[in-house]
Structure 1
């Protein structure tokens, strides 16, 4: 099925179509490549001085994009080529053999269509070989989100931007130490949707929190269901963590999350499936008063699970468990 047949129904409605690449990383043997195909939209760079109204309009523009299903994307790794098709949410994904270090970028191209501008893309390839790595959630783990209070979470997500969202104090220092200043890779596995990809990357850069591949939720969120952003099932996290454990079979992991979006349950499942490969699990307790009994119960059954209220407590745990060395 060609891109021409599938884009033809948008002719007259769309002026420009973009390939938006998200991931191009691997283990030296295979590369995971992922992105989506969307309608173009104008979005100015966020500023710290932007008020809530400007941020609200930016959120409306972000979620007004049209995702294009059943569109073919040509992925190039040097001389190696692969054609993949977007799913119902405009997402495409492929696992390809790594052609080697001489190839430093992946290219993503669409066929040309009369009457529509097409913007292709390239993405630098990341290759990871470390024996230790970190998997972290985002909302209420590094980013103050109030995920357990839907109204509060929604207002934060649309009224703030990458420069006005607040991290938990001390997170940058904590993650810099955990990754040994970037020596060990850091993967973010979150229930945020792909429309927030650029916002999250800008937030991490601005707050000097180590960057790493973002593995977000594939379900497309638009203006009709924007309130679902970051919600519903979180089982996709388990699937993505399993993929990372499989892709990096000789890597041991530190898992970091919070108690508000089923991270403890998901990380327990991973712990039991991959015995001996998890160095520690650190969980930020979102609501200590309601979850104190649950914290104690989990601590009794899983001595390597550490529940903390602050980043300072997390740092003390990491020091005691020698995670900084």
Structure 2
């Protein structure tokens, strides 16, 4: 007996990016459409199914895609062996197309001449690129796990990370108390305008991008690029990056925006203190402050305090609540 399986439709997962008035950057991934349901109040079974479908995603390799910019320019590229595309091009006069919130909207499509028949008739996938405002006082880079969202990276064998990720839909996850308030105040700065750009970095895989985006939208965090990393399997033979993912992403941002100073937000659960202090040493005049949320792990707290005690390049605080961070930011003149 033969069973006929209907091939899945294709989609392009476009990721919010960042660039300048003359540098266009775009990142995304070509995938089979798993029909992941991000509705609220889901059962544990549906949540498990969603997470499995995200982590098991089937990439579309070496396929031609087309990007169309608001100026009418068309750019063609190909996905790599894992379905990703990653572009950085010099394109003048992009400032004409920035909306009032600092975003440039563009579209991504499969090139019909080379694509499979499973592409839907709606072969247009929207994306956006952030261009920081000239009025920005500073930029903010924040970690995600246990800095913004309760995850449990400091738990034994990281069992809480597994439980929270696999068994909780995004609408059941809780934001760390006070973090939305602190982020919104930094976004507004002292001008009272939402012009200070936000960037989120995490060691989570790109497969969880939609999940995290849904969480951010639900809790009304400032909109910003979410910079994740490729999901490595035990069979991945590609060489590991020499520089940690977060450190690399932060360095890229500081290089892209040499006129901006930055505030870094993280926690004491993993290596944020190590990475952030290295960045401050590498860019000694660019980091206004480092805020680390205390995850209440005695051994890790002791280690972090040693780092803080010997660090003098920029202010670094280990806070038990974001009210402490807000107070310091107000006293430092970062926010009202």
Q: What range is the shorter-chain TM-score in?
A: 0.7 to 0.9
Displacement of 1:146: 0.2
Query: What is the distance in 1 between the residues matched to 2:263 and 2:213?
Result: 21
Matches within 5 A, 1:138-287: 138-149=144-155, 150-180=158-188, 182-219=194-231, 235-287=244-296
Displacement of 1:84: 2.4
Q: Give 5+ residue unaligned stretches, structure 1.
A: 1-11, 226-231
Cα 1:67–1:59 change in 2 (3 A) is same
Q: Contact 1:285–1:309 (CA<8 Å) still a contact in 2?
A: yes
Deviations 1:211-268 (A, max 9, x none): 21111112367xx99xxxxxx9981111111110011110000000112221111111
Q: Give 5+ residue unaligned stretches, structure 2.
A: 98-103, 236-240
SS at match of 2:94: coil
Q: Which runs of 4+ in 1 moved over 4 A?
A: none
Residue of structure 1 equivalent to 2:100: none
Matches within 5 A, 1:20-39: 20-39=13-32
Residue of structure 2 equivalent to 1:16: 9
Residue of structure 1 equivalent to 2:132: 128
Under a length normalisation based on structure 1, what TM-score does the superposition of the two structures give? 0.86
Q: Contact 1:256–1:281 (CA<8 Å) still a contact in 2?
A: yes
- State whether structure 2 residue 326 is matched by structure 1 residue 318: no
Q: Contact 1:19–1:36 (CA<8 Å) still a contact in 2?
A: yes
Structural RMSD (CA): 2.3
Counterpart pick for 1:64 among 56, 60, 83: 56
Displacement of 1:51: 2.9
Q: How many residues align?
A: 305
Q: Contact 1:187–1:215 (CA<8 Å) still a contact in 2?
A: yes
Q: Contact 2:132–2:195 (CA<8 Å) still a contact in 1?
A: no
Residue of structure 2 equivalent to 1:89: 82
Q: Contact 1:134–1:184 (CA<8 Å) still a contact in 2?
A: yes
Most deviating of 202-211 and 250-259: 202-211
Q: Contact 2:269–2:297 (CA<8 Å) still a contact in 1?
A: no
Query: What is the distance in 1 between the residues matched to 2:331 and 2:35?
Result: 48
Q: Contact 1:30–1:95 (CA<8 Å) still a contact in 2?
A: yes
